[in-house]
Amino acid sequence: MEKRIELEKRGRNPAEIIDLTLDNCRSTNIVGLTDEFVALKTLSLINVGLTSLKGFPVLPNLRKLELSDNRISGGLNFLLSSAKLTHLNLSGNKIKDLETLQPLKEFQNLKNLDLFNNGVTNLDTYRDKVFGLLPSLRFLDGFDMDDHDAESEEGNEEGSEDEDVNGNDDGDDDANEDYSDDDSEGSDEDDKDLNDEEGGLDINDSDVDDEYGGEDEDEEDEDDDEEYQGNQDVEDGNDIEESPPARGKKRKHEDGSEPGN
């Protein structure tokens, strides 16, 4: 265990380490783990082979302790120096009676205890007795007193937090909607003002024609009509001159003689 602890430290000061995992390091006793680990919050000693907790260090900030799959049958009083403990996993050990669990009454913050696969779980009314022994306990072997599993309870708590967050978001949405409505009204008013301004500048097409070119066009049209009429008269005159003399009149020869002479 000592070598494993040195390896997990990675050159760090023990007082700076918060999480420490020593699973499968194989030792029957606590060796090398000292009171220097004052900042430690999570300690895992799964499947180490521990038969006793004698020598367990003073860890004032420890919250979660994993001791599953060992051979611990007693000596839980050695854990009392970690008064802030909230999660304790003793599953897969050799605890056979409720008397062995008596020291756990001293833990005022213990909320989650796992004793699965221990002999004590075979006792009649085991769950009722353990919950009665530990008033602060919320979950035993993963379930509360009403047989609701811990994961569901944690999910409900997270859902409540989400609802609070979403409630704040809804407020923001309402504010955004109000802001959007104000913008829409402002836009409508701006459009109305713009239309009024454009309406004031609106000019009738006929007025433009009368002012800028209506008279000229009329004069040009009259000149065109007169010119066209003159041309028509000339053409009509030509037609008259070229037409043959009326019947019954004698036509003089070019030499001035009358026909028949």
CA pair distance 73, 90, nearest whole angstrom: 10
What amino acid is encoded at 235 in this protein?
E
What's residue 149's pLDDT? 87
The DSSP bridge pattern shows strands 64-66 and 87-89 to be parallel
Structure-token pair, residue 166:
């979403």
Element (H, E) at 41: none
Q: pLDDT tens digit string along 69-81?
A: 999 999 999 999 9
- Give Cα 51 distance to the centre of its chain: 50
Q: Cα–Cα distances in Å, from 158 out to 7, 150, 163?
A: 37, 12, 9
Question: Which of 94, 97, 42, 100 lies closest to 68 in space, CA to CA?
Answer: 94
What's residue 75's pLDDT? 96
The backbone torsions φ and ψ at residue 105, rounded to the nearest 5 degrees and listed phi first, read -65, -25
Residue 42, beta-bridge partner list? 19, 64
Q: pLDDT tens digit string along 131-189?
A: 999 999 999 999 999 989 877 665 565 555 555 545 554 445 554 455 445 554 554 55
The backbone torsions φ and ψ at residue 139, rounded to the nearest 5 degrees and listed phi first, read -130, 130
Question: Which of 120, 130, 24, 127 lies closest to 68 in space, CA to CA?
Answer: 24
Which 8-state DSSP code applies to residue 56? Answer: -
CA pair distance 229, 227, nearest whole angstrom: 5
What's residue 150's pLDDT? 78
What's residue 157's pLDDT? 54
89 CB neighbour count, 10 Å cutoff: 20
Taking 70 as the pLDDT cut, the residues of the chain under it are 152-261
What's residue 60's pLDDT? 96
What's residue 154's pLDDT? 57
